[in-house]
Structure 1
Amino acid sequence: MALPDKNRSWRKTIAPYERPSVARSVWQLFNTIAPLLLLWYGAYWSLSVTYWLTLFLTVITAGLLVRVFIIFHDCCHGSFFNNRMANEVVGTISGILTYCPFYQWRFSHSVHHATNGNLDRRGTGDVWTLTVQEYLALPPLKRLGYRLYRNPLILFGLGPAYVFLIEYRFNRKEAKMKERLNTYTINVGIAALAGLLCWAVGWKAFLLIQGPTFLLSGLAGFWLFYVQHQFEHTYFEKDENWDYVNAALHGSSFYKLPKILHWFTGNIGFHHIHHLSPRVPNYYLERAHDDNAMFQIAPPVTLLSSLRSFRFRIWDEHRKQLMGFSYIKRFQMSRNNPSNVLKPK
């Protein structure tokens, strides 16, 4: 269901939530960074007790690192502080902690927001998604490449390690000097912080703590981004039919999580609100959703139902929904036999 024309006053409705609070932003920095540092030290201390305790603490530490990434994310949108310089400084520091280049990521993510769900403008800052027809037009080797990319073991296993450790260390070809220098600054910051911690606790202890923390936070980050756009009845349209509001409210999920997980993930589960207006700070997303019925039409996804996203691989323009690879054979049969109408199972 599209947002009714009479409710196209959404810009005026959402405007009050777009004003960041310095007090709330500073408090969020404190209640995220302080426990992150304490838990990292606690994980180091626990190495002398049992590594099982260390692993338990790294799970919580990874959750806090996801929360740091949400702060980084808000800074990229200029929504964490009113002051541009404050967003850039905090964004760069949080980028060092999360291994993300601030200017580079800000660019690709802004493209993602401007093109989410647009079939003619895919390819920057999104999950590689093909239509059935595009997949069938590929040569066998490229089909295999797409299948491997969409395999959960690669997408959520190798994917985070490759992106955060390798891809983000290099500038894009079109990057200007300011963006390039920021990437170099963050790379040096990451190396300096890792070196300092190795000097302080030893390289083995560093890897035993930072290794699982990095892998778990990266996996969680990838999963959140994936499930927020890769659900069954998401939104994809050709450029001439694409609509920003419908892409936000129907192409971005409302990931209905337990309160504690909304806290660790900085309310990013209210992703439809975020896509409608990326200027809303993370701590106002839930309020904007709860206060306004017009924003509550986004399809809710629960922890349990989100697991179904593992099987969604390819977009069918006929049915307007994501399907699994097993659907391709049915699609081919329907083309060979027009009387075989494609119906939901």
Structure 2
Amino acid sequence: MASWVLSECGVRPLPRMISRSRTKVVHDSPSKNRISYSNKGVSDLKFLSIRVSNGLSRERNWFLRVSAPLKVASVDEDERGKRVNGIEGEADFNPGAPPPFKLADIRAAIPKHCWVRDPWKSISYVVRDVAVVFALAATAAYLNNWLVWPLYWAAQGTMFWALFVLGHDCGHGSFSSNPKLNSVMGHFLHSSILVPYHGWRISHRTHHQNHGHVENDESWHPLPERIFKSLDYVSKKMRFTAPFPMLAYPFYLWTRSPGKTGSHFHPGSDLFMPNERKDVITSTVCWTTMAALLVGLCFVVGPIQVLKLYGVPYWGFVMWLDFVTYLHHHGHEDKLPWYRGKEWSYLRGGLTTIDRDYGVINNIHHDIGTHVIHHLFPQIPHYHLVEATEAAKPVLGKYYREPKKSGPLPFHLIENLVKSLKEDHYVSDTGDVVYYQSDPELINNSSNSN
């Protein structure tokens, strides 16, 4: 099969004097087009050859995070995205192909007022949520009825999760434009639910800057096959069987994910830069103070009362956090790509996040379900995310996946969670555009247990 390249003059055969690469990466994409990338032997011509099963070839562009692409000899990423995804042809949509738009195009579509951070409005949400937390606790303690406690635990766990989201906005700087206010409010909100504010803020920043990258992403990233196969069977079952993954967050704070080392509490962890040492120590001290306060309350009101008022809701919050963050990066009906090397870019990684509808919970947890725009532009305040998403949809096109509408409560997402945990186990050790694969042993054992 002849190879073709896109040049300044159009489509033409690859000159025979250029030797073909002996190495290639085949992408196990669910789409019908199978693409292999090759750059060996053609670097002196300053373009890359991409061989597609239908005989056409395209140049590949290179990106560094959000920055502009390096200069190339022929067609740019916009043009390639259009041709691969059938905007100017008949090919099926390929979610792993470069999009026919830039980050700046999405930014330009979002109204200017969506970028405005109003500290008073942000504080009003804090006042609202804290008032609800104390009202729920006072009511439950006063009634002290076992018909009431389960309802309280569900409601208060959800409110703890809402407090986390507000602290999360502080970490992104979308709470206000004042770094000191963000830090004070972030420590207040996160320490109250046993989250080390700066430790988490820094690792979450790493997640946003590297989302969609197999090795460099920080949370809920896929395991390469070699790491997955190095886990014992019990570890695999715990990681991929509900509800155990929904209880992972506290352990992640202490030990991170398989294949990574470090702690969110230790200033010497490789999560942090040397100049962030004081920030990490400050957050660890605040976390320790909150833990000591809870121990003191055990002596005042008794450990059972503290468990009922705080302990059980805390684990409810943990389950919300893991549930929501997992489903924003997994479990779509169609397989979504993960990237390595120069195939990764900030934009392509961000476009593989997924919006979710949580029914009445949308307002309670501050519309964090509008996750695509949040990932691309984390500086947008939560109260503008819905409007910003609607404005960006015409630009995003098929790269935006409309969430399935929820009833009052998002029970429909449980099916997505269970299906993803059953099927999305690891990605190949090789390849620059990869998709989740399944371990037959886990699937068979899961089916037998059911």
TM-score (normalizing by structure 1):
0.82
Tell me, yes or no, if structure 1 residue 56 matches structure 2 residue 151.
yes
Structure 1 residues 83 and 295, CA gap change in structure 2 (3 angstroms): farther
The residue type paired with residue 107 of structure 1 is: I
Tell me, yes or no, if structure 1 residue 95 matches structure 2 residue 185.
no
Asked which structure has the greater CA Rg, the reply is 2
Q: Aligned residue for 2:368?
A: 268
Q: Aligned residue for 2:353?
A: 252
Structure 1 residues 172 and 272, CA gap change in structure 2 (3 angstroms): farther
Q: Aligned residue for 1:77?
A: 172
Q: Which moved more, 1:76-85 or 1:261-270?
A: 261-270
Give the share of equivalent positions with the same residue, in percent: 18
Number of aligned residue pairs: 320
Q: Distance in 1 between matches of 2:309 and 2:443?
A: 46
The residue type paired with residue 94 of structure 1 is: L
Structure 1 or 2: more helix by fraction:
1
Q: Aligned residue for 2:131?
A: 34
How far is the alpha carbon of 1:143 from its aligned partner? 6.6
The Cα offsets for residues 188-242 of structure 1, whole Å up to 9 and x where unpaired, read as: 3313431454355332211122121011111111111111112242330112111
Gaps of 5+ in 1: 331-345
Q: Pairwise mapping of residues 143-182 of structure 1 onto structure 2 (< 5 A)? A: 145-157=235-247, 159-163=248-252, 168-174=264-270, 175=272, 176-182=276-282
CA contact (8 A) 1:17 1:280 kept: yes
Q: Distance in 1 between matches of 2:99 and 2:269?
A: 39
Q: Which moved more, 1:292-301 or 1:16-25?
A: 292-301
The residue type paired with residue 262 of structure 1 is: N
Structure 1 residues 326 and 121, CA gap change in structure 2 (3 angstroms): same
CA contact (8 A) 1:100 1:168 kept: no
How far is the alpha carbon of 1:279 from its aligned partner? 0.4
CA contact (8 A) 2:356 2:369 kept: yes
Structure 1 residues 85 and 314, CA gap change in structure 2 (3 angstroms): same
CA contact (8 A) 2:196 2:283 kept: yes
Q: Which moved more, 1:309-318 or 1:321-330?
A: 321-330
Give the secondary structure class of the aligned counterpart of 2:198: helix
Structure 1 residues 268 and 201, CA gap change in structure 2 (3 angstroms): same
How far is the alpha carbon of 1:116 from its aligned partner? 0.9
The residue type paired with residue 440 of structure 2 is: S
Q: Aligned residue for 2:400?
A: 298
Structure 1 residues 163 and 247, CA gap change in structure 2 (3 angstroms): closer
CA contact (8 A) 2:199 2:265 kept: no
How far is the alpha carbon of 1:114 from its aligned partner? 1.1
How far is the alpha carbon of 1:168 from its aligned partner? 5.0
The residue type paired with residue 325 of structure 1 is: D
The residue type paired with residue 5 of structure 1 is: F
The residue type paired with residue 309 of structure 1 is: S
The residue type paired with residue 173 of structure 1 is: S
The residue type paired with residue 355 of structure 2 is: F
Q: Distance in 2 between matches of 1:212 and 1:223?
A: 17
CA contact (8 A) 1:81 1:87 kept: yes
The Cα offsets for residues 27-63 of structure 1, whole Å up to 9 and x where unpaired, read as: 111111111111111121121xx22302211211111
Q: Aligned residue for 2:100?
A: 4
Q: Distance in 2 between matches of 1:108 and 1:178?
A: 15
Structure 1 residues 329 and 218, CA gap change in structure 2 (3 angstroms): closer
Q: Pairwise mapping of residues 155-234 of structure 1 onto structure 2 (< 5 A)? A: 155-157=245-247, 159-163=248-252, 168-174=264-270, 175=272, 176-195=276-295, 197-198=297-298, 200-232=300-332, 233-234=335-336
CA contact (8 A) 2:196 2:286 kept: yes
Q: Distance in 2 between matches of 1:21 and 1:281?
A: 8
Give the secondary structure class of the aligned counterpart of 2:286: helix
Give the secondary structure class of the aligned counterpart of 2:342: coil
Q: Distance in 1 between matches of 2:221 and 2:391?
A: 34
How far is the alpha carbon of 1:135 from its aligned partner? 5.5
Q: Aligned residue for 1:127?
A: 220
Structure 1 residues 247 and 189, CA gap change in structure 2 (3 angstroms): same
How far is the alpha carbon of 1:281 from its aligned partner? 1.3
The residue type paired with residue 290 of structure 1 is: E
The Cα offsets for residues 10-42 of structure 1, whole Å up to 9 and x where unpaired, read as: 233345422211232121111111111111111
How far is the alpha carbon of 1:177 from its aligned partner? 3.2
**Superposition CA RMSD, Å:** 2.9
CA contact (8 A) 1:70 1:282 kept: no
TM-score (normalizing by structure 2):
0.64
Structure 1 residues 71 and 329, CA gap change in structure 2 (3 angstroms): closer
Give the secondary structure class of the aligned counterpart of 2:356: strand
Gaps of 5+ in 2: 1-94, 256-262, 405-409, 445-450
Q: Distance in 2 between matches of 1:208 and 1:116?
A: 37
CA contact (8 A) 2:187 2:283 kept: no
The Cα offsets for residues 286-327 of structure 1, whole Å up to 9 and x where unpaired, read as: 111123322464224444253332323324568954343229
